[in-house]
Amino acid sequence: MVSPLKRYFIEVAYHGKSYAGSQIQDNATTIQLLIEKALQIYFRSTCSLYCSSRTDAGVHAHQNFFHWDTEHEPVANDIYHLNALLPQSIAITRFYQVDQSAHARFSALSREYSYLIYKKKNPFLEGFAWYYPYTLDIELLDRAAQWLLSQKDFSCFSKTGSSVNHYICNIQSSNWTQKEGVLSYHVVANRFLRGMVKGMVTTMLGVARQTISLEKFYEIVYSQDPQQARFDAPSCGLYLKKVNYPSDIFLKTIGHQ
């Protein structure tokens, strides 16, 4: 007798340099593709995953989630064996049994991203942050980041070709910090548009370099025109840090890596 399907969230972390993004794509190696293959080999059954937060090519994640419906009941030791089937740049960290109505994408309350830059050449940050050796006005950078909290329509920071129903995002936190030679932008919102964080970072850095005035920055956002924003920030500096869910959807935690 086949056991009834149960739903699990799979928590993963990855270095995105070698991948075309998190979600399945035709003729491309993605995070989802490799995790699905590992699950199929280990549990000897086909599976389909649903991603919480789509990350683009080259973007890293400290925490992302997929959900999976299965008759199998994962145990902590399965994580070790699954990780042995995955490249070193991808790690499954935990399974969570969740309510059957929970959805990795639609049940999320918010996502948190960070973007890292560094001014002095550092071989240990190569591939993990953006080398940006320019003089920056940190006060202007902070003012631009704080002003974004008052905005709702982020059309100007959505890359052309995005297929979304609307461009409204609720940003809950937006700030820059400096530590040990690394300048970091941290932003929390209920949702993000394609290219949004890189667009905000690049355009704010223009303000900090004073190649864009603060007033022009406001105009760019009000214009709702992505052709006026800048998207030059490379993917290597962008990290999905955390996905936040209501605590009551988690029924059981499996694993402690």
| DSSP designation for 131 | E
Tally the C-alpha atoms within 13 A of residue 87's C-alpha that lie toward its C-beta: 15
The span from the CA of 150 to the CA of 158, in Å, is: 18
User: Class of the 110-240 domain?
Assistant: alpha beta
CB atoms within 10 A of CB 71: 11
Write down the pTM of the prediction.
Answer: 0.94
Section 74-94 average pLDDT? 97
pLDDT score for 1: 46
Q: What pLDDT is recorded for position 3?
A: 64
Q: Where in the chain is the domain with CATH 3.30.70.660?
A: 110-240
Give 77's pLDDT tier (boundaries 50, 70, 90): very high
Residues annotated catalytic, as ranges: 56
pLDDT at residue 26 in the model: 84
Exposure string over 185-206, b if 16+ CB within 10 A, otherwise e: bbbbbebbbbbbbbbbbbbbbb
As a whole number, mean pLDDT of residues 135-147 equals 97
According to CATH, where is 3.30.70.580 located in the chain?
6-107
CATH, domain range 6-107 = 3.30.70.580
Q: How do residues 39-55 score in pLDDT, each as one tens digit?
A: 999 999 989 999 999 99
Query: pLDDT at residue 115 above 70?
Result: yes
Q: Rounded distance, CA 170 to CA 199, Å?
A: 16
Q: What is the pLDDT of residue 62?
A: 97
